[in-house]
Structure 1
Amino acid sequence: MTDFLLELRSEEIPARMQAGARTDLERLFREQMKAAGVEHGDVSVWSTPRRLALIAKAMPERTEAVSEEAKGPPEGAPDQAVDGFCNKNGVTRDQLEVRDVKGRPTYFAVKNIPGRDVKDVLAEAIPAIIRAFPWPKSMRWGDASISTESLRWVRPLSGIVAILGEDLVECEVHGVASGFATLGHRFHHPGEITIGGSDDYIEKLRACHVIVDHEERQGMVRQQAETAASAAGLNLVADEGLVIENAGLTEWPVPLLGRFDESYLDVPPEVIQLTARTNQKYFVCNDAAGKLANAFICTANITADDPAVIVDGNRKVLAARLSDARFFWEVDQKTKLAEHAKKLERITFHEKLGTVADKVQRIAKLARWLAEEGVVPGADPDMTEMAALLCKADLVTEMVGEFPELQGLMGGYYARAEGLPDAVADAIRDHYKPVGQGDDVPTAPVTVAVSLADKLDTLVGFFLIGEFPTGSKDPFALRRATLAIIALSASCHNLRLQKAISISVGTHLGEEIVADEFRQHFIIYACDFEWTEKLIAEARNIAENLSGQLAATRANWFYGLAKIPEFFADRLKVQQKEAGVRHDLIDAVFALGGEDDLVRLLARVKALQSFMETGDGTNLLAGYKRAANILKKEGFEGTDRIARTGEEDPLSLVDDPDVGSIVAERGKGGDYEREPAEQALVDALDKAEPAANAAIEDENFGSAMAALASLRVPIDTFFDDVTVNDENRMKRTARLALLARFVAAVHKVADFSRIEG
């Protein structure tokens, strides 16, 4: 066994492509070796700006001889079939073997493949790897580039080192032949280095100022940058992405600290950091008080005799960039945000949803409604509307035009500089949040109202025009918007999704649509998760039967809106599953239907999860399932109606032709004397049902679960002591009705039939 070294050297590889290139190099190498039947040990892959390197451990010197066989057509088959089989397997007719297969002579192609020198396998594999390399962007070069068949590579390929043990693996790609020689650092050691094998590769390059291991270079950048900042009494602003990028730009990283003019600190710190990071790949530092300091750290690719020269050159370049940023900052402030907002009429939000100015007007109406109705407690309606009208104004500023990442943030700065209330400035700044998993969720009332309105408007708008997420495609980030609405709902009170969507639809379609019959039909059912399939079916029916452009358009609106509850339900389930809630418990709550208050829904799911983790929950579930199975077996209908209508007498719902007479007999005193366990269950239900109902009404779902827990012992005793299917039809029917009442009581909290266990 021996080790194999491969180095592919080229002109500078972009830092952003190096991680993917490492992955692709290892994948392609493994694929080639597997196809050739070459077993090997661990594979290590590294990158620098000028090279990709791979070392594979424990490579054999030769592959094992193998025998392959393939079953072909039966003897006597047409010549065309036999010849095709021979051609496919690379054999001649006289090489075929005939074997008996289930009593029928059948041709077999048997090939004995001798072992090969692994060096020869590698000589074929290396060109194949290079030609198959999937660079995100690549180029052709030299005279051969006139042909589209010439090699494509990220930058001109200039060298190949391929050594198995101590032997050269001879190959050639695009006029570049493999060899033992590579190059060291471009400035510190521009001459050739002779590599003896994988054992001395890393250290020989280190001696020539090349750190091959990208992770080692990242560590150097991180540590030396922190040291440089600390030596100046500053704290480095951590930026792992910038650490990786600087390591990808250098083979011998040397972080150096410099200073820029303090006058630039008048510009918002995020602008300075983004300018330094995006344009120059510099780190920034904070002072002891946590404020941005007039310091930057650049990463040189050389150990300079006079580092101050390098620092001064970088300072001048950064100064030019910061001067541009300050110019944008000053120019933008000469125009009020309200004036900037007028320019939003020039920006199309979506061809079917109007301009960004149209969207802002819709957000303002919805946000004000959320504030006025108390859905977002503490949100001042006037401030909320002001923030909503200005929330997108910074999109047309010079600063955001240069740095789109600063949208919202710059609007907050401009609002504060203009003297607008802090609540308005904060809402403009944070209304895009949360933008992804792990992002901060706003809690300030005005911000919550504007953010919620923005995301509801986006969701409703795109569903209205039929732009639904499909599979992995979600071009308008509607899944993310829905999850953000769910997160924001924690700061809301009585957020009825049905009503909020209704108001949002009105802002899209106009007030006249809200009042029509079609609109009212939607309001009745929207967001009742149980009715989703019915809604969609009705929408399709309307679309098929209505005629005329307006009618068809309204049918399409209805169809789009009908899908929103289903979409919300799916997102809620995903969010809760990621939070560690069992999927069956989520289904048990959602199956109840009739609930579109997100806060209440999630509170009920949480309470159910806690309840089912107790012994009471487990045993009550067992009792429920036993009762439900008996009712199902006996064909006892009406459980769902009991749960929904709250009718007092379960017997009135028994699907029995003689129920009327039984009820009449009970009314005349024909009732029987209940057994003790039977009466105990009745008494327990008499207490538990109103207690659970009151708790649900007060949104105290924990207490509702506790009320149900009181039924655990009575139902267990009932099953132990009472014969449900008594020969006396009156007793049997009454006891089945009692079980139906028990099931109905449990259903008020959750559909226990959906719970596993």
Structure 2
Amino acid sequence: MAELLIELYSEEIPAGMQAAAADQLARKVEEFLHGFGVKADSMTSHVAPQRLALLAAGLPQNLPDRKEQRKGPRVDAPDKAIEGFLRANGLDSTDGLQVEEDKKGAFYVLDIDEKGGPLSDALAAFMPGMIEAFQWPKSIRWGSGSLRWVRPLRAILCLFDGAPVTFTVGGLTSGAVTYGHRFMAPEAIEISDPHDYVGALERAHVLVDAAVREAMIAEGASRLAEGVSCTVAEDAALISETAGLVEWPVPLLGKIDDAFMDVPEEVLISVMRTHQKYFALRDKDANLAPYFITITNMVTEDEGAAIIAGNERVLRARLSDGRFFWDQDCKQTLESRLPQLEKITFQAQLGTVAAKSQRIAKLASIVAEALSADAEAAEQAAQLCKADLVSGMVYEFPELQGIMGGYYAQNDGLGDAVAAAIRDHYKPAGPGDAIPATAEGMAVALADKIDTLTGFWSIDEKPTGSKDPYALRRAALGVIRILVETDTALALSPLFEEAFKLHKTEKPLIEKLVAELMAFVADRLKVHLRGQGISHDVVNAVFALGSDDVVALASKSAQLKAFLDSEDGANLKAAYTRANGICAQAKHDSDKVDAALLAAAEEQALHQAIAALDGTADGAYDRQLDALATLRAPVDAFFEAVMVNDDDAKIRHNRLSLLQALVQNMRRAADFDLIE
């Protein structure tokens, strides 16, 4: 069996595009092989800043013979259909086609009988088109050529079964040559064995495996941090990003000037992480330490001293800007900034950020009372929560919105409750983000998200398919997470109704829009619960009962899943399906049972068990399910001993009513028809 090695060597590929490019290369090669009925034993793709590579093992040297019959249009089909079939198969006339008949008539058939040739020849024909059709989020042309690539393509290595596969594309001819590290080993390297590719490049100071680079960054940074009694602030995304910036990662430890350590730590971290790709360190008390770690791409004779000095100098300049914004912003209160919000449009049809802040404040006061939070603090925080958008710091570092507002509130002496609520009101910003830490923060966050949802619903701007430009799905999930993770029972419909009124939505539309928005939130809750292992059918069965309390819906879904996973629950579900099927077949929908007609002991026992359920439907859901579980034994006994379709019409009708009573009582707990 043979091996295939492909490497596309270029100028630096942006880190954010590397993983998708590696997947695309593997997918294209896999599809190419599949077209010939070939599958590699293994396929591994690699990506580094200057190269995109793939190794495939266990390939045949020659392609298998291919026999295929392609069915074409009917003989009497329109000429255009026949011409299209001929064109698609590279034919000029129907002379090479066979005619076969079936029940629908005569139709053309193309018999293909191809002898398999060398796979290397097929590769040489495939590679130029694959490279030309490669998709990048952004691509460029260079020189006088027409080839587009993410950055100028400099060399192509293609090796199959130990020999170069030669082809030309974009003015480049493929071969068996690659290049080492741009600075430490820039010489050409000839590869004769795909097995040696990774090792040969490692000897030339290039680690082609992104996972290896990530591990080297994590381990090296941790080692440096331990040397100053610190730990590296956890940041998997930054590790992945920096691994895409270097081919030979070398972590270096730098010092933050003490003059900047009284600036809010989020500012320091944002400057270091976003602008410089530095890792922050924390001391034993989890406070931000006066150090940073940068990842360089080479080993230097001075052990990185000049690089560290240069990075410290750049960081000092960056942090000087941060300190300036902090000092200037603290001279102005949040309240004094509110008039400036009139100049910022939230959305053309929904008005200014100032108007949004006023709506949030009214909603936050209502929500705070429902949450037993400080309504006055929540309302004040809501009025001021967007004021930091016009601060110098947030203008320069938009990712700090909310966070800086919290600091400015503390600077204004507004108290911890107000400051924390402003700081947290955007939370949760994503699946991995925490919810607000205080009740007041929850109130403002819920009010903000509800205002956003109802606002866009009121102007008919809703998510469609994969498009969600206003992040409304995230807003709905934020509402769900805040309520579910704090086990807060809160009826959403009245809040939605109030929010629509604040948007001055026409009264006749409000009821309809509330129902639509509740359905949207319910759909998001289903997605959230599926992530916790609760299948969609179980969730749908609970949702069918109707409720606008997401906590109750989530809790009931989890309890119903546990019930169905039990032996009693599984058997009862089967009994429900059987009973419902019998009643449906008989077209019987009455659940009125005449106790005097119950002759068999088993049907009497089942009737008594069903009667004992009275009142349980209004109790706690776990007790309701426990009560249903008591039906298991009498239901099993009934189906084993009692013939439903009795010759006596009255007895038959009564037994059908008994089964319908069973069905109706079970439906009070969930719509079991929806459970698969």
TM-score by length of 1: 0.78
Quick one: distance in 1 between partners of 2:60 and 2:640? 72
Name the stretch that deviates more: 197-206 or 705-714.
Answer: 705-714
Quick one: distance in 2 between partners of 1:105 and 1:457? 64
* Partners of 1:95 and 1:109 within 8 A in 2: no
Show the counterpart of 2:493.
Answer: 498
Quick one: distance in 2 between partners of 1:369 and 1:112? 76
Show the counterpart of 2:526.
Answer: 573
Quick one: distance in 1 between partners of 2:573 and 2:97? 66
Show the counterpart of 2:338.
Answer: 341
- How far residue 59 of structure 1 moved from its aligned partner, in angstroms, is 4.2
Query: Kindly tell me: are residues 689 and 326 of structure 1, through their superposed partners in 2, closer, same or farther at Cα, counting changes over 3 Å?
Result: same
Query: Kindly tell me: are residues 689 and 280 of structure 1, through their superposed partners in 2, closer, same or farther at Cα, counting changes over 3 Å?
Result: same
- How far residue 256 of structure 1 moved from its aligned partner, in angstroms, is 0.9
- How far residue 154 of structure 1 moved from its aligned partner, in angstroms, is 1.7
Quick one: distance in 1 between partners of 2:67 and 2:557? 61
- How far residue 316 of structure 1 moved from its aligned partner, in angstroms, is 0.4
Show the counterpart of 1:312.
Answer: 309
Alignment of 1:96-135 (within 5 A): 96=96, 113-135=114-136
Query: Kindly tell me: are residues 707 and 273 of structure 1, through their superposed partners in 2, closer, same or farther at Cα, counting changes over 3 Å?
Result: same
- How far residue 618 of structure 1 moved from its aligned partner, in angstroms, is 4.8
Show the counterpart of 1:254.
Answer: 250
Which of 569, 579, 592 is the aligned partner of 2:545? 592
Name the stretch that deviates more: 719-728 or 14-23.
Answer: 719-728
Quick one: distance in 1 between partners of 2:520 and 2:78? 58
Show the counterpart of 2:614.
Answer: 689
* Partners of 2:361 and 2:383 within 8 A in 1: yes
State the number of aligned residues. 672
Name the stretch that deviates more: 34-43 or 241-250.
Answer: 34-43
Superimposed CA distance per residue, residues 581-627 of structure 1 (whole angstroms, 9 cap, x where no aligned partner): 3444433333333x333333334334434444445545555665666
Determine if the alignment matches structure 1 residue 268 to structure 2 residue 233. Answer: no
Equivalent position amino acid for 1:120 in 2: D
Show the counterpart of 2:217.
Answer: 221
Equivalent position amino acid for 2:519 in 1: E
Show the counterpart of 2:554.
Answer: 602
* Partners of 1:164 and 1:197 within 8 A in 2: no
Quick one: distance in 2 between partners of 1:76 and 1:733? 60
- Name the SS for the 1:161 alignment partner: strand
Determine if the alignment matches structure 1 residue 427 to structure 2 residue 347. Answer: no
- How far residue 446 of structure 1 moved from its aligned partner, in angstroms, is 0.9
Show the counterpart of 2:189.
Answer: 193
- How far residue 746 of structure 1 moved from its aligned partner, in angstroms, is 4.5
- How far residue 733 of structure 1 moved from its aligned partner, in angstroms, is 7.7
Show the counterpart of 2:395.
Answer: 401
Show the counterpart of 1:322.
Answer: 319
Superimposed CA distance per residue, residues 52-99 of structure 1 (whole angstroms, 9 cap, x where no aligned partner): 233333444443454566677999999999998777655688984867
- How far residue 305 of structure 1 moved from its aligned partner, in angstroms, is 0.9
Alignment of 1:312-391 (within 5 A): 312-372=309-369, 375-377=370-372, 379-391=373-385
- How far residue 635 of structure 1 moved from its aligned partner, in angstroms, is 5.7
Query: Kindly tell me: are residues 125 and 387 of structure 1, through their superposed partners in 2, closer, same or farther at Cα, counting changes over 3 Å?
Result: same
Quick one: distance in 2 between partners of 1:166 and 1:719? 71
Quick one: distance in 2 between partners of 1:442 and 1:636? 53
- Name the SS for the 1:689 alignment partner: coil
Determine if the alignment matches structure 1 residue 507 to structure 2 residue 502. Answer: yes
- How far residue 304 of structure 1 moved from its aligned partner, in angstroms, is 0.8
- Name the SS for the 2:206 alignment partner: coil
Show the counterpart of 2:137.
Answer: 136
Quick one: distance in 2 between partners of 1:83 and 1:731? 70
Quick one: distance in 1 between partners of 2:252 and 2:384? 42
Equivalent position amino acid for 2:50 in 1: R
Query: Kindly tell me: are residues 702 and 280 of structure 1, through their superposed partners in 2, closer, same or farther at Cα, counting changes over 3 Å?
Result: same
Quick one: distance in 2 between partners of 1:719 and 1:78? 61
* Partners of 1:584 and 1:754 within 8 A in 2: yes
Show the counterpart of 1:3.
Answer: 3
Query: Kindly tell me: are residues 722 and 443 of structure 1, through their superposed partners in 2, closer, same or farther at Cα, counting changes over 3 Å?
Result: farther
- Name the SS for the 1:152 alignment partner: coil
Superimposed CA distance per residue, residues 393-420 of structure 1 (whole angstroms, 9 cap, x where no aligned partner): 2222222222222221221122122222
* Partners of 1:469 and 1:478 within 8 A in 2: yes
Superimposed CA distance per residue, residues 455-480 of structure 1 (whole angstroms, 9 cap, x where no aligned partner): 11122222122122222222222222
Alignment of 1:501-540 (within 5 A): 501-509=496-504, 519=507
Show the counterpart of 2:277.
Answer: 281
Q: Of the two, which has the highest radius of gyration?
A: 1
- Name the SS for the 1:266 alignment partner: coil
Query: Kindly tell me: are residues 398 and 636 of structure 1, through their superposed partners in 2, closer, same or farther at Cα, counting changes over 3 Å?
Result: same
Quick one: distance in 1 between partners of 2:564 and 2:410? 50
Identity of aligned residues (%): 44
Determine if the alignment matches structure 1 residue 444 to structure 2 residue 438. Answer: yes
Show the counterpart of 1:706.
Answer: 626
Equivalent position amino acid for 1:599 in 2: V
* Partners of 1:427 and 1:447 within 8 A in 2: yes
Superimposed CA distance per residue, residues 119-159 of structure 1 (whole angstroms, 9 cap, x where no aligned partner): 333333332222112122111222x15xxxx1112222222
Equivalent position amino acid for 1:703 in 2: R
Gap runs ≥5 in structure 2:
none
Equivalent position amino acid for 1:310 in 2: I
Show the counterpart of 1:472.
Answer: 466
- Name the SS for the 1:216 alignment partner: helix
- How far residue 319 of structure 1 moved from its aligned partner, in angstroms, is 1.0
- How far residue 368 of structure 1 moved from its aligned partner, in angstroms, is 0.6
Equivalent position amino acid for 1:130 in 2: I
Equivalent position amino acid for 1:701 in 2: Y
* Partners of 1:98 and 1:105 within 8 A in 2: no
- How far residue 298 of structure 1 moved from its aligned partner, in angstroms, is 1.3
Equivalent position amino acid for 2:625 in 1: M
TM-score by length of 2: 0.87
Quick one: distance in 2 between partners of 1:376 and 1:752? 34
* Partners of 1:259 and 1:315 within 8 A in 2: yes
* Partners of 2:46 and 2:54 within 8 A in 1: yes
- How far residue 565 of structure 1 moved from its aligned partner, in angstroms, is 3.0
- Name the SS for the 1:45 alignment partner: strand
- Name the SS for the 2:614 alignment partner: helix
Gap runs ≥5 in structure 1:
514-518, 520-553, 640-649, 655-670
Equivalent position amino acid for 2:622 in 1: G
Equivalent position amino acid for 1:596 in 2: D
> Superposition RMSD on alpha carbons, in Å?
3.9
* Partners of 1:75 and 1:98 within 8 A in 2: no
